[in-house]
Structure 1
Amino acid sequence: MGLKDNSFIRRFVDAKSKKSGSSAPGIIIAGFAACGGVLFGFDTGTILGIMAMDYVLERFPSNKESFTSSELSLIVSILSVGTFFGALSAPLFADSIGRRWTVLISTFFVFNLGIILQTAATSIPLLCVGRLIGGLGVGMISSVVPLYQAETLPEWIRGAVVSAYQLAITIGLLLAACVNQGTHQRNDSGSYRIPIAIQFLWGLILGIGFILLPETPRFWICKGKDDKAKASLSRLRKLPPDHPEIIEEYEDIKAAYVFEAQFGKNLFAQVFSRKGKQLKRLFTAVTLQAFQQLSGINFIFYFGTQFFKDSGIENPFTVQLATNIVNVGSTVPGLFFMEIIGRRKLLITGAAFMSVFQLIIASVGVASDTDASKKILVAFTCLSIASFAMSWGEAWVVSSEIFTTRTRAKSVSLATASNWLWNWAIAYATPYLVDKEHANLGSKIFFVWGGFNLVNVLFSFLFIYETKGLTLEQVDELYENVSHAWLSSKFVPSQHAFRPSSPSASIHSDSKADAISVEERSV
């Protein structure tokens, strides 16, 4: 009995569509692709722990005692500058040399070069150059890996794998906390070089994995190499190239590509079209990724060690390790909640809980400085992390499934870039907000995060459509027929909505005319 036949799995995913072949290739792809999330998570969790180490504080800061707000801001945020431009540039490489080669180049050359420079650094300038270059690699990986997954995995497991990307991020954060806990007391360069150099291993694992994996069949079809597309499908499904299911899937992909090609050139202008509610979808994804950052989660993982230290907690490294364990443990049920509760309800509920917990953290931090209040800070920080991990941590799923096939790659790239842009803004501004010589907000910073999460509740109510249980084509039908997000839960999809014989097929012709109109105006 294969994984797709497991009774527990079948409660949450629809594995009825494919019965032949093996699920193993999809699981292998998921495992290797998840390393992309580990890269992001490990770096996020490592850098602030490194900057709180005694050995580093005695050598890197200009005053040889502590980092100034400007130094702290520069070192932490420079990575996000690289990731922002890496995410924006990813479609240019992925559509020309392929998804697989883009991942290989971004890991073996770009990311690993950044790690080498960071490991060799003995001062801030070289450390920042290394983080900038490493960020370019992480940004490309974060945009292309989900695309590779979507184009290679069987439909029945695709949603769970995309959600698992967030789980990989949390595992990276936990591993970073463990490594920092093991090296922060060393009185030599190994205290910071070991955590940085370990990232080289994650890059090698991801790169070697993609050497062994095939290019996506959709890329080969786009390049007109149909035999290679069939060979790719054969490897991915562990079926002969002439197997009926391979031929059927190939014909489906080919037909979809031929239909999309009728629209003319794939121009970026179409991403910003109002037709088919594309602009609304783009606004939803870009804003969703922005609010994921503004939820305050990365303040905890970027600056948590320093925050707990400034709050008088004796062993901030241990507390940071505990918060990462909570993050990983809470992400696992979130994978299932997306399919059980649904995207819309989960995001609304998660934002509400985060807001309450963070406002409590801010209030307690302002009102008291006792041992009991410090325990409350830690407890409600963990509750806030758990709320995020089970809800907003899965925002990547929503961003990847609400676009049409034609606009998906570029739209997801813009949404990912939005995530990294706000990641940079938070990393750059937060040191000034909490530093005693500047805004000196301290625990009052959680009033800001709690306020943003109240806005998140409203945003989710107004813009997040319920897409649970819908195919990507049914999501298109949902946006075409339902005007308001709060009515989406009542939507009932029609069968074969986009086939010529269906009453809904007129959507196709309208979309084609709109696309051609956009192209003509762009010439």
Structure 2
Amino acid sequence: MATTNNFHRTDAAVGGYCGYCVTGRQNYGDKARENQRPRLHGMSSCWFGYCQGVFAGVLVSPDFLNLFPTINDGNVSGAVTSSFFLGAFVGAVLAFILGDKLGRKRTIIAGHILNTVGAALQASAYSLPHLVIGRTLNGIGIGVTSTMSPVYLGECVKPHLRGRLLVIGASSNVASFALANWINYALAFRGGPLQWRLPLAIQLFFPFVIFPIAPFVPESPRWLLLVGEDDAAKQVISRLNNETVAHDSVMTDYNSIKASIRLERSHRVPLRDVLRNRDRTQNLRRLILSSGTQFMQQFTGINSLGFYLPTLLHESVGFSLQTSKLLAAVNGTIYFIAAFFSLAVVDRVGRRKLMLYGSLAMAVCHLISSLTLKTAQEDPSRMKLFGNVTVAFFVIYHAVFAPTWSGIPWVYAAEVNSIGWRTRGAGAATATNWLTGFAVVQFTKVGIDNLQWAFFLIFSILCLAFFPVVYCFYPETAGRKLEDMDEMFLRNPSWFVFGKKEMTQPTRPQAFIDAEMARISDSQVTIVEVTPDKTEKQQTP
């Protein structure tokens, strides 16, 4: 076993921790630091959710509309709102490019710096270009962090915890979304610029929590191994296992990841062959699957309601401005509570079933909401009654979406891609999310103005269509190690997964456990080193 003096040092590669504390049993202070990885992901998700939720209340604030009168035009309103999504798309592309070069940790920090600048510009805006630039920069930062944060956490946790911790991040997103709605409601009774500037300025609270944590968070061990930092990776793995570097569990994880990287590189083909789906590990298929979950999430209609629910309730259903904001806040709270339900089921039930059942339930909610909205608009005498039913099913929709499609696409994109393509896959998936979100938000106000109740009928049809897509093409990723994903696609080259238990069961198949043991066994190569005194010393890498 290594001696203490080899480890008692500070190593930037593992986040500035004392190396002995990294490799040995941790004391209370070290365990507190150990929680900073999920805490960083959670706070990043909170900032993400608050940014999404805060602007809905800003858009209906009288002082804001007086200062920016062109916002009343549906096209301008859509452009200003969706500039955040366009920026986030750019941010996701940047994460795609920089994630493997800078590393997970530094990419996340860079994203949060852009968030801070964008939030400050929004809160201080006195012209429309000023506001749009702020929202775009804020979006770029969110695009970077929403891509890299789930990847980072997914690479740092055990399989049985990965789904729950990633869902906690998504639930934190929903919690701050609900908080933003309550802040908007609390300020609905005040006049003047405080009504909308304060909610935007509250975004600047998040840097005071995130930046003190960030320097003390270690880098992802899988990224360290990907770039050849083997010693640093071992030390981080020892922290994750709460064991010494020489412990069997640490070396097992190290050898498994190392062997998986070696196997992946042995199957590497030129990019043009990847894009033609000619590589055995099927990176293009996996990228399309992860991007597909994000595409489907946006076309469930979540951001149409997230950004425009107060406007819809006020203009189409007939509620007062204050009541509309109150209902949006209550809806956000129920959304938040429902999100935590997925903690109990995401690893037990699996990703597939949650997506399947969620799509059917949301289709029903949109169908009923569109029909009741139609009746309320056609018969003013029954507007209140059917308006209440419409609101009820919007709330039920959010209660269904929260434990199903809210977090699963982010979990899936962080899991299904290979180590070498994980950043690219997550970047492509997040870029898809933001690009489709941009399209949905851009046309929501115009769609509601022109199609009215029928606008939500479109989402009902789309949600129904997602069921066969998931059933036919989406393999289960719950219960698997990240290194199992290559094995899953090597063993099952067909794009169709239904009827194949190995591809759809929520528990880890025995075949993948056996394959991991074989990889580890193959990596245990004995090296004979001749020392100066001509004795032989055996080492196992």
- TM bucket by the smaller chain? 0.7 to 0.9
| C-alpha deviation, 1:336, in angstroms | 2.3
Where does residue 312 of structure 1 map in the other structure?
318
Distance in 2 (alpha carbons) for counterparts of 1:240 and 1:289: 39
Please state if 1:273 is matched with 2:287.
no
Please state if 1:216 is matched with 2:220.
yes
| C-alpha deviation, 1:418, in angstroms | 0.5
Letter in 2 for 1:325: T
Where does residue 395 of structure 1 map in the other structure?
409
Query: How do 1:289-438 and structure 2 match up within 5 A?
Result: 289-310=294-315, 311-314=317-320, 315-368=323-376, 369=380, 370-393=383-406, 394-435=408-449
Letter in 2 for 1:346: L
Deviates more, 1:401-410 or 1:344-353: 401-410
Residues 207 and 274 (structure 1), Cα distance of their counterparts in 2 relative to 1, 3 Å cut: farther
Where does residue 198 of structure 1 map in the other structure?
202
Deviates more, 1:235-244 or 1:96-105: 235-244
Where does residue 177 of structure 2 map in the other structure?
173
Where does residue 521 of structure 1 map in the other structure?
none
- Where 1:486 maps in the other structure, the secondary structure is coil
Distance in 2 (alpha carbons) for counterparts of 1:272 and 1:112: 40
Deviates more, 1:82-91 or 1:401-410: 401-410
Where does residue 154 of structure 1 map in the other structure?
158
- Contact map agreement 1:466 1:485 (CA 8 A) in 2: no
Where does residue 480 of structure 2 map in the other structure?
470
Q: TM-score, normalised by structure 1?
A: 0.84
Deviates more, 1:284-293 or 1:493-502: 493-502
Deviates more, 1:398-407 or 1:33-42: 398-407
| C-alpha deviation, 1:332, in angstroms | 1.0
- Contact map agreement 1:478 1:493 (CA 8 A) in 2: no
Deviates more, 1:339-348 or 1:174-183: 339-348
Letter in 2 for 1:167: S
Please state if 1:488 is matched with 2:505.
no
Deviation track 1:157-191 (CA, whole Å, cap 9, x = no partner) reads 22211122211210121111111112233222221
Q: 1:58 aligns with which of 66, 71, 77?
A: 66
Where does residue 36 of structure 1 map in the other structure?
44
Q: TM-score, normalised by structure 2?
A: 0.82
| C-alpha deviation, 1:320, in angstroms | 0.2
Deviates more, 1:241-250 or 1:404-413: 241-250
Residues 26 and 353 (structure 1), Cα distance of their counterparts in 2 relative to 1, 3 Å cut: farther
- Contact map agreement 1:354 1:384 (CA 8 A) in 2: yes
Deviation track 1:230-278 (CA, whole Å, cap 9, x = no partner) reads 3433444444444444344334333433444445688586366343443
Number of equivalences:
477
Residues 103 and 474 (structure 1), Cα distance of their counterparts in 2 relative to 1, 3 Å cut: closer
Please state if 1:182 is matched with 2:186.
yes
- Contact map agreement 2:100 2:423 (CA 8 A) in 1: no
Distance in 1 (alpha carbons) for counterparts of 2:345 and 2:517: 36
Where does residue 230 of structure 1 map in the other structure?
234
Query: How do 1:25-104 and structure 2 match up within 5 A?
Result: 27-62=35-70, 67-104=72-109
Structure 2: gaps (5+ residues): 1-24, 504-508, 523-541
- Contact map agreement 2:182 2:326 (CA 8 A) in 1: no
| C-alpha deviation, 1:334, in angstroms | 1.7
Distance in 2 (alpha carbons) for counterparts of 1:268 and 1:252: 29
Distance in 1 (alpha carbons) for counterparts of 2:296 and 2:518: 41
| C-alpha deviation, 1:302, in angstroms | 0.8
Letter in 2 for 1:152: C
- Contact map agreement 2:74 2:445 (CA 8 A) in 1: yes
Where does residue 138 of structure 1 map in the other structure?
142
| C-alpha deviation, 1:50, in angstroms | 0.4
Residues 224 and 404 (structure 1), Cα distance of their counterparts in 2 relative to 1, 3 Å cut: closer
Q: 1:119 aligns with which of 123, 126, 132?
A: 123
| C-alpha deviation, 1:98, in angstroms | 1.9
Distance in 2 (alpha carbons) for counterparts of 1:85 and 1:498: 39
| C-alpha deviation, 1:92, in angstroms | 2.5
Letter in 1 for 2:124: A
Distance in 1 (alpha carbons) for counterparts of 2:133 and 2:516: 52
Deviates more, 1:28-37 or 1:465-474: 465-474
Residues 498 and 367 (structure 1), Cα distance of their counterparts in 2 relative to 1, 3 Å cut: same
Deviation track 1:431-452 (CA, whole Å, cap 9, x = no partner) reads 21122xxx2x223221011111
Distance in 2 (alpha carbons) for counterparts of 1:447 and 1:58: 33
Where does residue 444 of structure 1 map in the other structure?
454
Considering only CA atoms, is the larger Rg found in Structure 1 or Structure 2?
A: 2
State the Cα RMSD in Å: 2.6
Residues 353 and 67 (structure 1), Cα distance of their counterparts in 2 relative to 1, 3 Å cut: same
Deviates more, 1:324-333 or 1:267-276: 267-276
